[in-house]
C-alpha cells in the first residue's frame, strides 16, 4: 500500500488490498455509527429530531459525532470506488476457439455463423424463435395435454362447495 500525498487519498496496488481496507472501514463505520446513536440516546432524542433545535452543547456533541461518521463513510465509499476500477475482469466462457486472425467482435460473429453452418446447427437465437417459425426454420412442438381423472374433478367440486360455505 502506498500513500499519495497530493490528493490525501490512499492508493492500493491490488483489488484484494483495497477490499481488505474497505472491510476494515466497514467495521469502523459500524462502530462510529453506534457511537453517534449512543449520543442520540444519551440525550433521549426522538427519531426525526433536528440538530439545530437542540442546546448548543448537545449540538456540538452531535455535530462532532456526525462529522466523524460522515468522514469514515466517505472514505469507505472512495476506497470502494477505487476497488471497482481494479476489479479483475471475468472472462466469459466461450464455446468457440477463435483463430489468431479473428480479433474484432464483427469477425467473431461471422466466424460463429460460419461454424454453425458447418456443424448443421440452426441459426436461431432464443429471442428469434417466433421469426424463425414464420420462416419455417424451427419445427413446432405439440403442446402436452394432461387429462384430468374423475377424482380430480370431484376434489375440485368439493373445494368449491367448501369455499362457498
% of the chain with per-residue pLDDT over 90: 13
Residue 127 lies in a domain: no
Of the ranges 6-20, 44-58, 72-86, 93-107, which is most confident? 72-86
Residue 107 lies in a domain: yes
pLDDT of residue 73: 92
CA distance 90 to 98: 18
Residue 29 lies in a domain: yes
Residue 137 lies in a domain: no
CA distance 13 to 10: 10
Compute the mean pLDDT over every residue in the chain, rounded to the nearest whole number. Answer: 75
pTM of the predicted model as reported, rounded to 2 decimal places = 0.47
Q: Is the pLDDT of residue 7 over 50?
A: no
Same domain, 11 and 57: yes
Domain that holds residue 108: 91-122
Residue 165 lies in a domain: no
Average pLDDT over residues 43-57: 76
Same domain, 102 and 39: no
Same domain, 9 and 54: yes
When divided into structural domains, the chain yields a total of 2
Same domain, 73 and 102: no
CA distance 114 to 104: 15
Amino acid at each position: 500500500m502506498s500513500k499519495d500525498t497530493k490528493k490525501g487519498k490512499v492508493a492500493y496496488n491490488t483489488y484484494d488490498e483495497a477490499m481488505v481496507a474497505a472491510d476494515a472501514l466497514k467495521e469502523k463505520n459500524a462502530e462510529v455509527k453506534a457511537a453517534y446513536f449512543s449520543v442520540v440516546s444519551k440525550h433521549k432524542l426522538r427519531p426525526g429530531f433536528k440538530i439545530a433545535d437542540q442546546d448548543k452543547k448537545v449540538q456540538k456533541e452531535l455535530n462532532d459525532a456526525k462529522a466523524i461518521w460522515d468522514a469514515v463513510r466517505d472514505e469507505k465509499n472512495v476506497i470502494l470506488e477505487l476497488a471497482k476500477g481494479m476489479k479483475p475482469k471475468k472472462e466469459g466462457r466461450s464455446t468457440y476457439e477463435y483463430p489468431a486472425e479473428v480479433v474484432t467482435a464483427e469477425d467473431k460473429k461471422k466466424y460463429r455463423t460460419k461454424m454453425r453452418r458447418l456443424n448443421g446447427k440452426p441459426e436461431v437465437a432464443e429471442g428469434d424463435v417466433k421469426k424463425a417459425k414464420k420462416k419455417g426454420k424451427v419445427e413446432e412442438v405439440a403442446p402436452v395435454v394432461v387429462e384430468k381423472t374423475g377424482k380430480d374433478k370431484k376434489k375440485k367440486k368439493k373445494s368449491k362447495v367448501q369455499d362457498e360455505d
